[in-house]
Structure 1
Amino acid sequence: MPRLVDALPKYRKHKASGQAVVTLNGRDCYLGPHGTSASKAFYDRLIAEWLIQGRSAQAPAVEAITVIVLCGRYLRFAKSYYLKDGKCTGTVPAIKAAIKYLRDWYGKTPASDFGPLALKAVRQRMVEGGLSRTYVNDHVARIKRMFKWGVSEQLVPPATYQRLASVPGLLRGRTTAHENPPILPVDDATVDATLPFMPEVTADMVRLQRLTGMRPAEVCILRPCDVDRSGEVWFYRPASHKTEHHGRDRVVFFGAEAQGVLLRYLAREASTNCFRPCDSMAKVLAAKHEARKTPLSCGNVPGSNKRRRPKKAPGEQYEVDQYRRSINRACDKAFPHPELGKLKRKDLTPEQLKELKAWQSSHRWAPNRLRHSFATEVRKKFGLEAAQVTLGHSSAAITQVYAERDLEKGVQVAKAIG
């Protein structure tokens, strides 16, 4: 039989927030800054009420939860909820960026007191910080979802979220927040000019994505076992994809040209990734060795200057960011700045470095733009429904974002009507 303990719940310090905390009936009650007389008086009051009601009093009302505590708990939940293949998705960093604006101004404010005016003040701070209108709206929506989650966990009164939900999003043309330019397709001439400056493996990934309209992540995780080669057109079902948590299937179609690109990457174990950084690095080193002019009797023998335990080694699978950075490096080589491209970055002044970055940003293209190009071409030749099927969208409205409208049809109508 367990020993009965008459000790009172302890006055403790919550390391993450720096607040004092006491646990009553299995629920943490936050008391304010640790060590202050106000927090100790709050502790004494709660313990007195708890003892009067026979050690069974309910925890204090949700108004005691501060915004910083709510942010910490929501972030802990997000890290365990927004997972993909055992890793946190991009939603978690976005949540961190959103709550950063809450932490400084309203961290110590009771969550129940955070209302529409406070949310608008945070939103205006985002606008003045240079964020685009859509990004500001996304951040505000994340803050609202956090308070909605707090209601479901009985940390925030329902009325608090209802008040925040009444704040509308910023509208185009009715705010000082700037608009981001739309993501447009990348033309074939630009891609063809960049391909010679890419490693062979990355170049084939670009060619395959341009022919199939896959998402960058779907190219990175492509394996032989995921490709059905029984028919004239091959079917690729990714082991993991963006909308699988909605119970949707994803099929990518490989025609003859796409099959030709992929064919030489299939002669490996079925569960091994087709495109691997380690293979790419091996080919780069082999090309350097082939172009070597120094005799083998002089200098380093291949493999002799490797570290036994390098901090970073080429992996077995490309990450999307690795794929994008490889394309960016190729763009910088294919489209160098006419004056600053030949200089070392350490020799540039801050103004020159800013100019160089602006040049590179305007001459780079991301792998997602290949998807836009594919969607635009398919829609123009085969219609919106065909683009929706090949892109794997459940709604044609989503396809509209990727596939640029065919303006030639409008021109034809104008010519016919007069």
Structure 2
Amino acid sequence: MSKQPIPQLRYHTPTKQHYVWWNKKRVHLGADPAQAELRYKRIVAELASDRDPFDGHRTAAGAPAAPPAARTVSEVLLAHYRHLKAEGRDRSALHRAWQAAAAVLARHPALPAAQFRGPQLKQVRADLLARPELSRTYINYLTRCVQRAWAWAASEDLVPPEAAEALRAVEMLRRGRGGREPARVVPPPAGWDGVLSELSRVTSAMVQVQALGGMRPQDVCRMRRGDVSTGPHEPVLFPGTARPVTAFPAGGVLVWLYVPREHKTAHLEKPRAVALGPRAQQLLRPLLAGLGPDDYVFSPARSLAEHGRGNRFKRQGYATCYATRQYAQLVGRAIDRVNAARVAAGVPVEDHVPWWSPLQLRHLAATVVGDEIDREHARALLGHSSQDVIERYMEQQLGKAGRAAAECG
């Protein structure tokens, strides 16, 4: 018999969920009393057989154990979510994994994981298709989240390999085969920069640097001093390699380089360096002064201190770096304040600041460079490249990106 105490089945009134306490954490077992009772009995049975019911594939003593045949879908999804969290995945990735798990649990909460195959996954996808706020591409992403969860579970011997293979055989939705098509992201409308006067010096520079460099919001939010090369004698390494890159002359001016430590295509081993021209350098130079290598360039604490409002962001991460959602909220609220002031002054509606989001600034940079130079230079500035070898990237792409930054950024 396990030395671990048997947890009691409890009921959480605010969430209407049954749960047990385990390792000082509340583990939910579902809202349905019958299903919660079944899961609770399975937990007690695994404790009686000297297994840790929440570890997935190891006994309480730490030795490998054969997976229980009756392991449910919810247990596999919970184990996979904890695996992602232990890996240090970012909050958005965890949110999408949880959203995919919730869609599965809404239809098959107590189904044995080994019996969750292609037809069951298609039923879950049909439920997602019934939600008009989800696009076809996002539904495909959630479907792949479930497939990856079962592939991981098979590698951990939590489900039979054929279960993961059956889910992998489900094809993604193609255009015209169901689901709402995602809206195309376009550059912000004319007059978008009317909001800059309402932003603080830090956030105003943040918006302009993103637009000039053609960066994604997460790239500009996570910019650190040590990731920016401001001269030929200040090398910055591509993440995961020993290959340095430095600022270089292009078009008669020195172009700075920013190499993000993390970016969207890092898992594909694609290099990414952002070329920063004279206008972006003028905005960044006062912000870089006095920073250490690991300090964030655009700090919410500095922005609030300039307004004499202290630091309201006490949670971990908020005091040193803007979150992308927080960045978008700052822009949206500033637009609302500007337009409210114009309404009070009797300014016509057509002269109000149009609504836009930081996601559109990257497309603005592509449009400007494409119009003033050509589409090839716009592609190089944004980092869109079919080459995944660093040497070719440095020789071909950075040269074009440097010219684009020298003339347009």
TM over 0.5: yes
Look up the SS of the partner of 1:236 in the other structure. Answer: strand
Superimposed CA distance per residue, residues 215-234 of structure 1 (whole angstroms, 9 cap, x where no aligned partner): 22332333444332325323
Q: 2:273 aligns with which of 234, 251, 273?
A: 251
Matched, 1:109 2:111: yes
Partner of 1:374: 365
Look up the SS of the partner of 1:211 in the other structure. Answer: helix
Relative to the length of structure 1, the TM-score reads 0.66
Partner of 2:256: 235
Instruction: Return the letter of the residue paired with 2:84.
Output: A
Matched, 1:387 2:393: no
Alpha carbons of structure 1 residues 378 and 39: separation in structure 2 relative to 1, 3 Å: same
Matched, 1:74 2:80: yes
Instruction: Return the letter of the residue paired with 1:74.
Output: H
Alpha carbons of structure 1 residues 373 and 41: separation in structure 2 relative to 1, 3 Å: closer
Alpha carbons of structure 1 residues 42 and 90: separation in structure 2 relative to 1, 3 Å: closer
| Separation in 2, partners of 1:107, 1:74 | 15
| Separation in 2, partners of 1:41, 1:258 | 60
Partner of 1:50: none
Partner of 2:199: 198
C-alpha displacement of 1:377:
2.6
| Separation in 1, partners of 2:339, 2:255 | 36
Partner of 2:95: 93
C-alpha displacement of 1:154:
1.1
Count matched residues.
321
For structure 1, list consecutive stretches of 5 or more residues without a partner in the other structure. 1-6, 20-30, 47-57, 286-302, 343-361, 398-418
Q: Which one has the largest radius of gyration?
A: 1
Partner of 1:148: 151
Partner of 2:334: 330
| Separation in 2, partners of 1:258, 1:180 | 32
| Separation in 1, partners of 2:144, 2:341 | 40
> Does the CA contact (< 8 Å) of 1:384 and 1:396 recur in 2?
no
> Does the CA contact (< 8 Å) of 1:388 and 1:396 recur in 2?
no
C-alpha displacement of 1:104:
2.9
Moved more, 385-394 or 193-202: 385-394
| Separation in 2, partners of 1:97, 1:146 | 13
Alpha carbons of structure 1 residues 310 and 247: separation in structure 2 relative to 1, 3 Å: closer
Identical-pair percentage: 28
Relative to the length of structure 2, the TM-score reads 0.67
Instruction: Return the letter of the residue paired with 1:152.
Output: S
Q: 1:277 aligns with which of 277, 297, 300?
A: 300
Alpha carbons of structure 1 residues 312 and 62: separation in structure 2 relative to 1, 3 Å: closer
| Separation in 2, partners of 1:133, 1:338 | 39
Report the aligned-residue RMSD: 3.8
Look up the SS of the partner of 2:219 in the other structure. Answer: helix
Partner of 1:161: 164
For structure 2, list consecutive stretches of 5 or more residues without a partner in the other structure. 8-19, 31-36, 52-63, 232-248, 346-352, 389-409
| Separation in 1, partners of 2:321, 2:28 | 38
